[in-house]
Amino acid sequence: MLSEISKHNFPRPFLKWAGGKSRTIQQYIPYFPNHFKSYYEPFLGGGAIFFYLQYHQQSKAILTDVNAELINTYLCVRNKVDELISLLKEHERQHNQNKKEHYYSVRANSEGTDLQQAARLIYLNKTCFNGLYRVNSQGKFNVPLGKYENPKICQEDLLYAASKALQWADIQACDFADVVKYANTDDFVFFDPPYYPISSTSYFTAYSRYSFNEKDQERLRDTCAELASRGVKVMVCNSDCEFIRKIYTEINFKIYLIEAARCINSNIKKRGMIYELLITSY
């Protein structure tokens, strides 16, 4: 059985990410398969589940996401972490001199080398409002500057630990359904898609320029069913709502309740504990 997370010396997310699993992962541990071959995470985001599993059970991992900027950042952390840290230190220096001017200058400029773009994403992620990744219809990052006194822009130990863990990973930009081309019996696939909205104000799917609608949720369900039919171990998380319960009950997946904190809401009074679904094929 996988053990609980140690508080020291383990790889963990180097990005803040809406819906990230760092706070709920302890509740997931009892439901992880005890043994699996390769690990797949098609909605990578902050990668909390990957980093936890990689620390406890080193295995081949295939990490994918439709967000090409995010994937480029992971590749740079894996392959060029020293150069990336140097760029982040320069961002840190300039931010400390003039936060507002540097932030909006960086936000407006998405050009540059792969390394420069990776440093830009990490810098914006550490300094923007609530650590959100949000783009407009043209794909331009549009989150305002956050109100942080001393944001941790360059966390060297965190980046080195992440880089070491990522040496085991194949990292690609692609659609989640591409996982069916590769996953086989006794592999483990974890899906953390944009959640189905439970109210008109909870529709946060613009983490890339592509929306994730009801048909996409059904396409994901069908992908899960195909994977399970070939003996792949599948885990999915999503909103606790009638629609999600229905589509996974139809394919005989098991459904569990997870308590989670809702941190992203313009109205502070509407933040708090909610229930989410953890869904497995096994």
Q: Each residue of 139-194: pLDDT tens digit? A: 889 999 999 989 999 999 999 999 999 998 999 999 999 999 999 999 999 999 99
Q: Is 207 helix (H, G, I), strand (E, B) or coil?
A: coil
CB atoms within 10 A of CB 266: 8
How would CATH label the architecture of 25-66+174-280?
3-Layer(aba) Sandwich (3.40)
What are the domain boundaries of the chain?
Answer: 25-66+174-280, 73-158
Which helix (DSSP H) or strand (DSSP E) does residue 122 occupy? helix 114-127
Residue 171: Cβ-neighbour burial (10 angstroms; 0-12, 13-18, 19+): buried
CB atoms under 10 Å from CB of 156, counted, come to: 12
pTM of the model: 0.90
What would the two tokens of residue 159 be?
């980046």
Whole-Å CA distances, 256 to 47, 117, 167, 248: 21, 39, 33, 12
Are the C-beta atoms of 184 and 225 separated by less than 8 Å?
A: no
Burial of 279: CB neighbours in 10 Å, binned 0-12, 13-18, 19+: buried
How many Cα atoms sit within 13 Å of 9 on the Cβ side? 0
- Mean of the pLDDT values across residues 47-71? 95
The token pair at 281 is: 């094929």
Q: What percent of the chain has pLDDT over 70?
A: 89
Q: How confident is the model at residue 101 (pLDDT cuts 50, 70, 90)?
A: very high
Sorted by sequence, the CB contacts under 8 Å of residue 181 that are 6+ apart come out as none
Q: Degrees (nearest 5) of the Cα angle 89, 116, 163?
A: 70
Express each pLDDT in 107-126 by its tens digit: 999 999 999 999 999 999 99
The pLDDT confidence band at residue 131, using thresholds 50, 70 and 90, is confident
Q: Which pLDDT belongs to residue 10? A: 84
User: Over 90: is that where the pLDDT of 219 sits?
Assistant: yes
Those residues whose C-beta lies under 8 Å from the C-beta of residue 15, and which sit 6 or more positions away, are 45, 46, 47, 73, 121, 122, 125, 131
pLDDT given at position 66: 93
Reported as a pLDDT band with limits 50, 70 and 90, residue 5 is very low
Instruction: List, in order, residues 6 or more apart from 131 with CB less than 8 Å away.
Output: 15, 16, 17, 18, 125, 146
Comparing 28 with 133, which gets the higher pLDDT? 28
Task: Give the CA distances from residue 8 to residues 11, 16, 21, 113, 157, in Å, rounded to whole numbers and listed in that order.
Answer: 9, 19, 18, 34, 11
Beta-sheet pairing, 39-41 with 272-280: unpaired
Q: What would be the CATH architecture of the domain defined by 73-158?
A: Orthogonal Bundle (1.10)
SS (H, E, C) 162-182: HHHHHCCEEEEECCHHHHHHC
**pLDDT above 60 for 84:** yes
Q: Stretch 258-271: mean pLDDT, rounded? A: 63
Q: What is the mean pLDDT of residues 43-69?
A: 95
Question: Pick the residue with more confidence: 203 or 211?
Answer: 211
